Amino acid sequence: MKMIVAVIQPEKLDEVRQALIDTGISRVTVTRVTGHGRQEDIDLYRGQEVVPDLLTKVRLEVALNDAFVEPAIEAICKAAKNNGGKIGDGKIFVLPLEKVVRIRTGETGGDAV
C-alpha cells in the first residue's frame, strides 16, 4: 500500500479529480495549503507589485493499493500540467503506507483502502 501526496495548482483540482475518477480512484482527501517551490507569482496592492513568500496550493492525499499507484501518478501528472508543463505545476510524493483501518467496520489493510 502506498500514500500519494500531490501538491498541485488550485485551479487544476477539478481536472485532477476527474482524471483520478476516470482511473477508478474516487477516495481522496483535499487540503488547501501554502508553500513554495520554484514558482514566483505577483499580487497587486495599490499599484505596487508584491511577491508573496508562500503561494496558495492544493494538497491531495490518496491511499492506494500497489496496482493503482502508477495509473494514479500518470493521471495526476497529465491533468495537473499547464500547457505542456510550467514552473509551479506541483509535485507528487509517494510514501509507504503501514496500516489502514476503516473505522466503521474495523477492516484493515488492502480491503480498507
Partner 1 sequence: MKTLGYKVSLAVCVIALFGLSDVGLAQSTGEVADKVISDAGEVNQAGKLVIDTGTTAWMLVSTALVLLMVPGLALFYGGLVRTKNVLGTMMHSFVAMGIIGLSWAVVGYAMCFGETTLGGLIGWNSDYLMLSGLDSGPRALYDIGGGLAIPSLVFAMFQGKFAIITPALIAGAFAERVRFRGYCLFILLWSLVIYAPLCHWIWGGGFLTGYAIDFAGGTVIHISAGVAGLVTALYFGARKGYPRTAMHPNSLVLTLLGAGLLWVGWFGFNAGSSVSSSLTTARALTVTQIAAATGAVVWILIESVHLRKATSLGLVSGILAGLVAITPAAGDVPPYGAVVLGALGALISYGAVVLKGKLGYDDTLDVFGIHGVAGLVGAIGLTFVLREVPEHGLMTQLWYQIEGALVSIVYAGIMTYLLIVLIDKTIGFRMNEREESAGMDHVLHGEHGYGLLNLN
Site size with partner 1, rule: CB under 8 A: 16
Q: 9 phi and psi, to 5 degrees? A: -70, 135
CB of 59 to partner 1, least distance (A): 12
Beta-carbon contacts of residue 76 (< 8 Å; ≥ 6 apart): 4, 6, 8, 16, 19, 20, 60, 92
For the bound state, the minimum distance from the C-beta of residue 49 to partner 1, rounded and expressed in Å, comes to: 8
In this structure, the number of other CB atoms found within 10 A of the CB of residue 90 comes to: 22
Tracing cell 491531495 back to the chain, one arrives at 60
From candidates 26, 38, 53, 105, binder to partner 1 by CB under 8 A: 53
Q: How far is the CB of 9 from partner 1 (least distance, A)?
A: 8
By residue count, the chain amounts to: 113
User: In this complex, which beta carbon is closest to partner 1, that of residue 2 or of residue 59?
Assistant: 59
Q: Which residue has the cell 508543463?
A: 85
Stretch near partner 1 under the rule CB under 8 A, chosen from 12-20, 63-71, 85-93, 94-102:
12-20
Residues forming contacts to partner 1 in the complex (CB under 8 A) are 10-12, 14-15, 32, 34, 42-45, 52-54, 56, 82
